[in-house]
């Protein structure tokens, strides 16, 4: 039985640059199972920060797709497109702490650099036509990832200064995710391992902004037989709204959960009783056969 009073608050935070594919359905299901297993809340956030990359109708399509799969969220959906004031307030606070600089380096100028070389670090006050970067100074950060175990890095050296507001005026994911995880009271971030490195920037920002740092859990990414990550960029097909049971069965097979094939909500309830996060301990990728991909819509 889940605990009666759980303070666990998890979330799923899709970017509406296209419909859900198997990898994003896996993210939704794992974060859902983990929240429900612990009797916690599962919240939804639409990361619609980047209108040029957004696909018209994708945000609504994602919500309908989650519902068709029985993935019902708690509370109302938080839309990042409506959160500019909060992001601006966070930037203001960081500016007061002298933690920002205004960067005019072009993509071309930074080509081939593994981390930001510090070129504009001395520009500590606003100037036109600039991206706003966070000065990463931490030399050591250590944390325990729920799936991947002990993590350690030198964020300043390994990752460098990160953009929080783009030159074109749009807020960057690294800022928005921190401000919004705090706003939604998220205690546990469950997402794909491709974002593990971003946790270092985000942990630094939580601390700098004096916000509670959640626990992080990074699950394996799905990879094709050729080793390529399953993603929108690698032409992952959308999961079909017509076959939610089949799509869920495929996710549960990947997670090695022996779930009886019934209605989506019943399958999820059954999976919640079977799910053990230890199954994913130290696993970094889950291979998927192309033949098993769900049909295109």
Residue 284: CB minimum distance to ligand GLU, A: 17
Of 141 and 188, nearer to ligand GLU (C-beta) is: 188
Binding residues for ligand GLU restricted to 32-61, rule: CB under 6 A: 47
Asked if 103 is part of the footprint of ligand GLU (rule: CB under 6 A), the reply reads: no
Asked if 13 is part of the footprint of ligand GLU (rule: CB under 6 A), the reply reads: yes
Of 14 and 70, nearer to ligand GLU (C-beta) is: 14
> Whole-angstrom Cα distance, residue 211 to residue 203?
10
Residue 178: CB minimum distance to ligand GLU, A: 10
40-62 core/surface letters (b: 16 or more CB in 10 A; e: else): bbbbbbbbbbbeeebeeebbebb
**HSE, side-chain direction, 13 A CA sphere, residue 127:** 14
> Whole-angstrom Cα distance, residue 127 to residue 115?
22
Of 27 and 267, nearer to ligand GLU (C-beta) is: 27
Asked if 177 is part of the footprint of ligand GLU (rule: CB under 6 A), the reply reads: yes
> Whole-angstrom Cα distance, residue 13 to residue 66?
12
Residue 58: CB minimum distance to ligand GLU, A: 11
Contact flags string 186-205 toward ligand GLU, x per CB under 6 A:
-----x---x----------
Of 15 and 250, nearer to ligand GLU (C-beta) is: 15
Positions that interact with ligand GLU (CB under 6 A): 13-15, 47, 177, 191, 195
């Amino acid at each position: 039985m889940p605990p009666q009073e759980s303070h666990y608050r998890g979330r799923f935070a899709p970017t509406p640059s296209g419909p859900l594919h198997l990898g994003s359905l896996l993210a939704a299901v794992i974060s859902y199972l983990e929240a429900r297993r612990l009797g916690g809340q599962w919240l939804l956030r639409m990361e619609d920060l980047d209108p040029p990359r957004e696909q018209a109708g994708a945000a609504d399509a994602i919500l309908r797709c989650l519902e068709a799969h029985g993935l019902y969220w708690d509370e109302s959906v938080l839309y990042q497109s409506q959160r500019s004031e909060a992001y601006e307030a966070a930037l203001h606070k960081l500016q007061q702490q002298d933690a920002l600089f205004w960067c005019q380096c072009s993509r071309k100028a930074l080509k081939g650099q593994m981390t930001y070389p510090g070129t504009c670090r001395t520009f500590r006050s606003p100037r036109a036509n600039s991206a706003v970067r966070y000065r990463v100074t931490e030399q050591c950060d250590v944390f325990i990832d729920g799936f991947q175990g002990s993590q350690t890095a030198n964020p300043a050296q390994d990752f460098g200064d990160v953009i929080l507001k783009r030159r074109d005026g749009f807020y960057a994911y690294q800022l928005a995710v921190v401000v919004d995880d705090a706003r939604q009271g998220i205690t546990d971030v469950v997402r794909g391992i491709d974002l593990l490195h971003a946790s270092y920037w985000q942990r630094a920002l939580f601390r700098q902004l004096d916000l509670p740092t959640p626990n992080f859990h990074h699950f394996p990414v799905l990879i094709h037989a050729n080793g390529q990550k399953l993603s929108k960029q690698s032409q992952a097909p959308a999961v079909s709204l017509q076959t939610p049971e089949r799509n869920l069965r495929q996710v549960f097979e990947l997670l090695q959960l022996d779930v009886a094939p019934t209605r989506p909500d019943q399958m999820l309830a059954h999976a919640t009783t079977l799910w053990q996060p230890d199954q994913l301990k130290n696993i970094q990728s889950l291979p998927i056969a192309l033949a098993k991909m769900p049909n295109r819509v």
